[in-house]
Chains A and B, each alone.
Chain A
Amino acid sequence: MDFAFNSLLRRKGKNSALFVVYAGIIFLVSSIVFSSESIKRESRILLENSPEIVVQRTIAGRHDLIPEQYIEQLKSIRGVQEAKGRLWGYYFEPGVQANYTLVVPDEFLYGPGYIVIGNGVSKTFLAGKGDLLPFKTSDGSYASLEVADILSPDSEIVASDLVLLSESDFREMTGMQKGFYTDMILKVRNIKELPTITDKIRRILPDTRPITREEIMRTYEAIFDWRGGILLAVISGAAFAFMIFAWDKATGLSSEEKKEIGILKGIGWDTSDVLFMKTWEGLIISLSAFFLGVFFAYIHIYFTSALLFMPVLKGWSVLYPEFRLVPFLDMFQIATIYFLTVAPYTVATIIPSWRAATIDPDSVMRL
């Protein structure tokens, strides 16, 4: 192993550059695996509590308001335990250029004239408890609503942009007439009957589309699946960079390295000794890069709240949630990163060494 070290140090510049880029690739891959797994697992726990079925009405391919009469029709479906309308919508605040989500809770304790806001709304509006916030209503006038409470900053991942308000204030602001809802939610008796119930909904109310809880959860799994979508694109970039490395290694050793192998064989080293030394060289670089890459990725995702990924997540949003990811870390993730990065590199370094180690030392030394 000492010989391998000295061999690496003889090509200090090349190997340090290789190490830095290799560790960088492992950092990127690990950061993606850690952050996507964390968001996926947290979203699964949270969205397990979302409505069992949401029924949306669509007209001309667009989401439309759903009339109250649909509630009775939905309730008449066997297996449906409860059906009720949901009132929610968006509000664009031109002053701060932010989009808020208006939600009417089943029971709004504070009543008309008051609102409860998410932490993101509080930050963009610079509003605190007791402040009066002006909201433009559908007829162009302004309604001033008093901030009764601010939702905990810990809840930003689900509630950062929420404005909770009473039904009357919501209808006044949005101009939504009584007897209409944004969509409907259903509770079913037996979760196994969901496919049958959704089929019946599509038959009885053909202008609607049911969205089940499982579909809601799968949406987030699809977004944050690191084997697909944007994350795959980022990982592919890293994989290509890695492939160039592997290719560089696999296409052959430098004449200096070949000469070194030739001399070693000339002084009596076996092919297995040379391979052993080259394996150590590969392992020294890849293991060091692996550990450093993984450690820095862990710090990046869980201690700096994914500082480098934030610009991507923020997009054009004025209001973006600030939350700390929970490290749902397991050995499977570490093993995945290891086999995606260390194993191919080690193999890529051994093959050309084996080729060089099996040829005649005399011809290698003459290079």
Chain B
Amino acid sequence: MPSRKSDFFIAFLVICSIFLLLMTVHAAFSVRHAMQNIQAKARMVRELHLTDLCLFTDARYTRHPSMADLHTAFQDHPMSFEHFPSGTVVAPPPHIYHYGLDQ
């Protein structure tokens, strides 16, 4: 029976390490279990020619960020500020910068 505080701490660390290991095992099993479902979704993306994830549905440039252009942020007025909360979360796609303002 551990009686010193350090023994308890070592026991705590061992238990935590076991939990960490269990966490990685749980993650590995979850990924394996989810793969079938992910493949079904991937099939849907292929068949429906989808380009984006459905994460934010409030603005079109956050619903389909990869299809957005550099002007979408100013869609209402050239000096208008960002309107939708999700617009602060979703950054513009990197390819917009690559091809410049016209694209």
Interface residues of A (CB under 8 A from B): 1-2, 5-6, 39, 42-43, 45-51, 54, 56, 58, 61-63, 86, 90, 98-99, 101, 103, 105-106, 118, 120, 151-152, 154-162, 164, 183, 185, 209, 211-212, 215-216, 218-220, 222-223, 228-230, 284, 287-288, 291, 294-295, 298, 302, 312-313, 315-321, 326-331, 334
Find out whether the CB atom of B45 lies under 8 angstroms from the CB atom of A315: no
Chain A residues with CB under 8 Å of B86's CB are: 313, 315-317
Whole-angstrom distance between the alpha carbons of A6 and B16 in the complex? Answer: 22
Chain B residues with CB under 8 Å of A291's CB are: 13, 16, 19-20
Find out whether the CB atom of B38 lies under 8 angstroms from the CB atom of A45: yes
Nearest-CB distance from A234 to chain B (Å)? 10
Chain B residues with CB under 8 Å of A215's CB are: 66, 93-95
Whole-angstrom distance between the alpha carbons of A113 and B18 in the complex? Answer: 57
Per-residue CB proximity of B5-30 to A under 8 Å, as 1/0?
11001001100100110011011001
Find out whether the CB atom of B52 lies under 8 angstroms from the CB atom of A216: yes
Chain A residues with CB under 8 Å of B65's CB are: 219-220, 223
Whole-angstrom distance between the alpha carbons of A134 and B58 in the complex? Answer: 21
Instruction: Please count how many residues in chain B sit with their CB below 8 Å of the partner chain's CB atoms.
Output: 61
Whole-angstrom distance between the alpha carbons of A93 and B53 in the complex? Answer: 21
Find out whether the CB atom of B38 lies under 8 angstroms from the CB atom of A315: no
Interface of chain B residues 16 through 71 with chain A (CB within 8 A): 16, 19-20, 23-24, 26-27, 30-31, 34, 37-38, 40-58, 60, 62-67, 69-71
Find out whether the CB atom of A5 lies under 8 angstroms from the CB atom of B53: no
Chain B binding site: helix, strand, loop or mixed by DSSP?
helix
Interface residues of B (CB under 8 A from A): 4-6, 9, 12-13, 16, 19-20, 23-24, 26-27, 30-31, 34, 37-38, 40-58, 60, 62-67, 69-71, 75, 84-86, 88-91, 93-95, 99, 102-103
Complex partner residue of A49 from B26, B45, B95, CB under 8 angstroms: B45
Residue of A nearest to B9 (CB): A284
Interface-centre pick from A56, A159, A212, A318 (highest chain B CB count, 10 A): A159
Find out whether the CB atom of B71 lies under 8 angstroms from the CB atom of A61: yes
Whole-angstrom distance between the alpha carbons of A257 and B26 in the complex? Answer: 43
Find out whether the CB atom of B53 lies under 8 angstroms from the CB atom of A295: no
Chain A residues with CB under 8 Å of B16's CB are: 287, 291, 295
Residue of A nearest to B47 (CB): A105
| Interface contact tally, CB-CB below 8 A | 205
Find out whether the CB atom of B58 lies under 8 angstroms from the CB atom of A99: yes
Complex partner residue of A317 from B4, B23, B56, CB under 8 angstroms: B56
Residue of B nearest to A50 (CB): B51
The 5 closest A-B pairs by CB, nearest first: A329-B27, A315-B86, A327-B27, A1-B6, A219-B93
Find out whether the CB atom of A5 lies under 8 angstroms from the CB atom of B41: no
Chain B residues with CB under 8 Å of A62's CB are: 69, 71, 75
Chain B residues with CB under 8 Å of A288's CB are: 12
